[in-house]
């Protein structure tokens, strides 16, 4: 019987608050986000939403300097659905949304949120001081840079977590569950499995990847006590 990974609410809330509510730089936000995902504190669907949001923010920073250069400030917000033209007179894309502060431009290949002050005006419609080719080139570079940064941050987070677990995983170490209940003490480390002896002297075998080290260096299982015991009973343990 599979044991579902527990969501560690306090840890998740702390890192999310640190990353998104204090105005950290984009790369630091990405690092915090990757740590949350690696620990299983962010659901896969939420992780996809976050990656898309982070990319749009990163892309905005990448093209903002070019788009704002020598561009007159627009007098009013741009209409959703309007075609945006580049400084070569050719269409860049259309405006997908506009919240009055930022307008999301869709080139057909990428989307980027830009401040409405970055847009100029022309007889044809709103303009940006950049071409479609330049925007897409910069967005592609921003995406590649973001993906590399995320991969590096994830690898670092996984290596740090593995090192912490290796240091904490010793015979005799107490193990608590995700809902803060005592599970027992490490009796034996058998390859990819860890045998835990409960207070009732029963033996509980957990896969190594169901254990982690907390910030204080203690061991905890990534599942609640009842879920673990139900799984043990299901396999006749």
Residues 187 and 156 both lie in one domain: no
Residues of the chain with pLDDT under 70: 1-77, 236-237
pLDDT of res. 199 = 87
- The answer to whether the pTM exceeds 0.85 is no
Structural domain boundaries enclosing 216: 169-234
Q: In what order do the strands lie in the sheet with 203-207?
A: 203-207, 193-197, 182-190, 174-176, 219-221, 211-213
For residue 136, which of 71, 74, 66 has the smallest C-alpha distance?
A: 66
Q: What pLDDT is stored for residue 235 in this prediction?
A: 77
- Residue 225 has a pLDDT of 93
pLDDT 10s digits, 46-98: 445 545 555 555 555 555 555 555 444 443 447 899 999 999 999 999 999 99
Contact 8, 231 (CB under 8 A): no
For the four alpha carbons of 194, 195, 198 and 203, in that order, the dihedral sign comes to positive
Residue 3 lies in a domain: no
Are residues 218 and 151 located together in one domain of the fold?
no
Please tell me whether residues 131 and 107 are part of one structural domain.
Answer: yes
Query: What gap in Å lies between CA 91 and CA 88, rounded to an integer?
Result: 9
**Confidence at residue 90, expressed as pLDDT on a 0 to 100 scale:** 96
**Of the residues 163, 188, 211, the one at which a domain ends:** 163
Query: Does 71 fall in a domain?
Result: yes
Q: Say whether both 114 and 81 belong to one domain.
A: yes
- Say if residues 90 and 131 touch (Cβ distance below 8 Å): yes
Q: Are residues 146 and 65 in the same domain?
A: yes
Q: Are residues 121 and 74 in the same domain?
A: yes
Give the chain's domain count: 2
Tokens found for residue 180: 């803060």
**Is 220 part of a structural domain of the chain?**
yes
**Boundary of a domain, candidates 113, 139, 163:** 163
């Amino acid at each position: 019987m599979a044991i579902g990974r527990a969501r560690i609410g306090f840890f998740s809330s702390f890192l999310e608050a640190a990353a998104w509510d204090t105005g950290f730089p984009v790369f630091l936000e990405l690092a915090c986000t990757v740590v949350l995902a690696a620990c299983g504190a962010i659901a896969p669907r939420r992780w996809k939403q976050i990656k898309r949001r982070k990319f749009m923010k990163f892309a905005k920073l990448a093209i903002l300097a070019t788009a704002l250069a020598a561009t007159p400030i627009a007098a009013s917000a741009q209409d959703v659905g309007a075609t945006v033209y580049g400084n070569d007179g050719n269409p860049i894309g259309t405006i997908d949304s506009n919240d009055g502060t930022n307008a999301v431009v869709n080139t057909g290949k990428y989307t980027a949120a830009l401040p409405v002050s970055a847009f100029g005006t022309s007889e044809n419609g709103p303009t940006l001081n950049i071409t479609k080719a330049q925007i897409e080139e910069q967005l592609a570079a921003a995406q590649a840079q973001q993906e590399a940064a995320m991969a590096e941050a994830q690898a670092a987070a996984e290596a740090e977590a593995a090192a912490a677990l290796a240091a904490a995983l010793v015979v005799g170490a107490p193990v608590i569950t995700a809902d803060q209940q005592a599970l027992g003490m490490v009796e034996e480390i058998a390859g990819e499995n860890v045998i835990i002896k409960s207070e009732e002297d029963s033996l509980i075998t957990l896969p190594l990847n169901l254990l982690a080290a907390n910030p204080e260096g203690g061991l905890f299982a990534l599942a609640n006590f009842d879920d673990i015991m139900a799984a043990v009973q299901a396999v006749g343990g």
